Amino acid sequence: METKMAGEGQKSKGWFWWVLVTVIAVLVIVAVALTILKDFHSKAAKVHHSPVEQKYADALGIAMQFFDVQKSGQLVNNRISWRGDSGLMDGSGEGLDLSKGMYDAGDSMKFSFPMAFTATMLSWAILEYGDQMDAVKQLRNAQDSLKWITDYLINAHPSPNVLYIQVGDPDLDHECWQRPESMTLQRPLTQVNTSYPGTEVAAETAAAMASASLVFKKINSTYSSLLLMHAQQLFAFADTYRGSYSVTAPSEQRFYNSSGYGDELLWAASWLYLASADRSYLRYATIDHGQEFGNWRRPTWISWNNKLPGVQVLLSRVDFFGASEVPITENLALQMYRETAEMMMCSLLPDSPTATSSRTESGLIWVTEWNSLLHPVGSAFLAILYSDYMLTSGTEALFCSERSYTPGNLRDFAISQVDYVLGENPMKLSYLVGFGENYPQYVHHRGSSIPADATTGCKDGFKWLNSSAPNPNVAVGALVGGPFRNETYSDSRNNSMQGEPSTYNSALLVGVLSGLVTSSSVANSFL
C-alpha cells in the first residue's frame, strides 16, 4: 500500500514537472513570437513612417489646389484668391441644385462623364494612400474636393432612372471667353433616362458613388449609405437601359465621345462589389460579363473613356488579397484580369521584352497629341498601385516573358513619369503649374487668363485670350496637356491641344504623387 502510494506520488511529481516544462516552453515560444511580432510592427511602422519625399509632397500640395480652382457654386474656405462664387443658378430651371461640381477644363462646362471619372480616381487615391496624404496634411483637402463632386452627382440623380449629365451648351460656351463668375449665358441641362439612355455616364457615376461611399464609410456613415444607394440605382439603370450616351447627347461626340460602355459596366460592378460585399456584382464582372467586355490579354491605356486597365488592376487587388474567399469560377476570371494587368505592367517597364514603343526618346509614355500627359500619369498611378499590391502580398517578382521584375522596378517606372512631368525633360519645363521655377505661363484657362477685377461680356473677353501678356492669375495645380512626341511644348494660350488642363488629369496625378510621398505598402482591405 505504501509502495503503491509512493509510486503514485512519483507519478504526480513527474506530471507536475512535465506540465511546468511545457508551460515554460509555451511562454518562451510566446515571448519569441511577441518579439518577432513587435519587430515586424516596428519594421512596418518604419516603412509606413519612412521619410517624406519632399519633392512629391510639395507637388501633391500644389496639384490638390487645382480642384479648388475648378469649383463651381458658393465657395467654402476658398483657397484661390481670384476665384469667387459662380454657377449658383445651375439646375434651377428644373428645380435642382446643380451649383456644385467642377468645371471640366479651361471652359465653364460641367460634363458629368469626365467629372465622375475624376471622382472615382480621387476616391481610389484616398482609399489606397489616404494615410500618406494625411502625413503631409492633404487628406482633408482630398476628401473635401471629392465631396464637392459627389454632392453635385447626388443632386444630378433626382430619381432612379434619370441622371443629368451636362450643364451648359458647349457650342455657346466656347463662343465666349469670360470668367465663370461673370457668365451671362443660358445654362441648359442634358439628361439621360429610360427613353434616352446613357449607359457609360450612368455606370461611371455609379462607380464614383460606390468608391466614394467607401471613402466616407468611417467618417460619415449616413452620407456613405446615401452614396451607395445612388450607386446601386444608377448601375441598375445603366445595365437595364443600355445605350450610348454619345447618341443621346450628340454634342458629347466632339468633346467626350464614348467608344463603348462595357468597360464602365465592369468598372461600376467592381466598385460596387468592394463597397457592398454583394457577390452578385463580382459575378457580373467575372463570370457573367468578364469575357464579353473584359478584353482579356489585350492591355490598353486608362483614360476617361477606357476604364478597362483600372478594372484589371482593381480586380487584381481582389485576387491578391481576397481570392481565397471567392468561388473557383469567379477566381478563374480574376486570374484573367490579373494576367492582363501584368501584361500591361510589362508593357510599361522600359527594358521589358514586351515594352511598348509608345513613348518618347526620353522615356515618357506617349499615346496621343491631345492631352498627352493623360496616359503616362494614368499608367504611373496604376504601376505604383500594382507595385504596392505586390509588396503587401509578399509577391517578389513579376514575369515578363522569361525576365523577372520587382515591385521596385514598377515604382522606378512611376517615378520616371512623374519626374518628367515635374521638370526632368528636354524642355526643363514643369508641366505642373506652380511647381518649380519654370512652368507654363499661358495656360488655356478662362479664369486664369482674365484679371479678377475685369468686367467682360461674352465676346469682349477674347482680348484676354489673344493677349501677349502671361496669365494674370496662376492656375495653381493645373496639369497642362503636355508635350508632343518630339518632346516640344508651345506655351501659347491658343494652344489648347497642349496647354489646357483638366480635373481628371489632376486626379490621376494626385493618386501617383500620394503613392510616392513615402515608401509604404497598401492596406489589404479598404474596409
Q: For residue 479, what are the CA distances in angstroms to 65, 171, 266, 435, 498?
A: 11, 24, 28, 10, 10
- Quote the CA–CA distance of 318 and 331 in Å, as a whole number: 9
Question: Can you give the length of the chain in residues?
Answer: 527
User: For residue 247, is it left (φ>0), alpha (ψ between -120 and 50) or beta?
Assistant: alpha
Of residues 143 and 1, the one with the higher pLDDT is 143
Q: Is the pLDDT of residue 22 over 60?
A: no
Least confident window among 192-201, 222-231, 247-256, 471-480: 247-256
The predicted structure's pLDDT at residue 451: 96
- Quote the CA–CA distance of 59 and 57 in Å, as a whole number: 5
- Quote the CA–CA distance of 389 and 236 in Å, as a whole number: 31
The predicted structure's pLDDT at residue 422: 98
Residue among 157, 230, 375, 444 flagged as catalytic: 444
The predicted structure's pLDDT at residue 30: 36
Verify whether residue 444 is a known catalytic residue: yes
Say if residues 464 and 494 touch (Cβ distance below 8 Å).
no
Average pLDDT over residues 408-432: 98
Strand ordering across the sheet containing 189-192: 110-111, 163-167, 189-192
Question: What is the maximum alpha-carbon separation in the chain?
Answer: 119
Dump pLDDT digits (tens) for 430-445.
999 999 999 999 999 9
Average pLDDT over residues 24-36: 38
Checking DSSP bridges between strand 163-167 and strand 110-111, what pairing results, if any?
A: antiparallel
Q: DSSP class of residue 133?
A: H
Q: DSSP class of residue 163?
A: E
Label residue 21 by pLDDT band (50, 70, 90). Answer: very low
The predicted structure's pLDDT at residue 190: 95
Q: What angle do CA 96, 99, 105 make, to 5 degrees?
A: 130
Dump pLDDT digits (tens) for 358-399.
999 999 999 999 999 999 999 999 999 999 999 999 999 999
* DSSP per position, 358-427: -B-TTS-B---STTTTHHHHHHHHHHHHHHHHHHHHT---EEETTEEE-HHHHHHHHHHHHHHHTT-STT
| Sequence spans of domains, the chain | 55-516
Average pLDDT over residues 93-114: 97
The secondary element (H helix, E strand) that includes residue 166 is strand 163-167
The predicted structure's pLDDT at residue 322: 85
Average pLDDT over residues 113-117: 98
Q: DSSP class of residue 250?
A: G
Q: Is the pLDDT of residue 27 over 90?
A: no
Checking DSSP bridges between strand 189-192 and strand 163-167, what pairing results, if any?
A: antiparallel
Q: Is the pLDDT of residue 148 over 90?
A: yes
Say if residues 153 and 166 touch (Cβ distance below 8 Å).
no
The cell for 393 is 502580398
Written in H, E and C, the secondary structure of 260-284 is: CCHHHHHHHHHHHHHHHCCHHHHHH
The predicted structure's pLDDT at residue 12: 40
Phi, psi of 159 (to 5 degrees): -150, 160
- Quote the CA–CA distance of 8 and 280 in Å, as a whole number: 65
Say if residues 432 and 63 touch (Cβ distance below 8 Å).
yes
The predicted structure's pLDDT at residue 15: 43
Written in H, E and C, the secondary structure of 437-496 is: CCCCCCCCCHHHHCCCCCCCCCCCCHHHHCCCCCCCCCCCCCECCCCCCCCCCCCCCCCH
Instruction: Assign a CATH topology to domain 55-516.
Output: Glycosyltransferase (1.50.10)
Count other C-beta atoms under 10 Å from residue 479's C-beta. Answer: 29
Say if residues 423 and 407 touch (Cβ distance below 8 Å).
no
Dump pLDDT digits (tens) for 168-214.
999 999 999 999 999 988 899 999 999 999 999 999 999 999 999 99
The predicted structure's pLDDT at residue 31: 42
- 412's CB contacts (< 8 A; 6+ apart) are none
Count other C-beta atoms under 10 Å from residue 204's C-beta. Answer: 33
User: If you average pLDDT over every residue of the chain, what do you get?
Assistant: 91
The cell for 510 is 494626385
Label residue 324 by pLDDT band (50, 70, 90). Answer: confident
Residue 319: alpha-carbon gap to chain centroid? 20
Dump pLDDT digits (tens) for 152-164.
999 999 999 999 9
The predicted structure's pLDDT at residue 375: 98
Q: List the one residue out of 322, 390, 515 whose CA is nearest residue 398.
A: 390
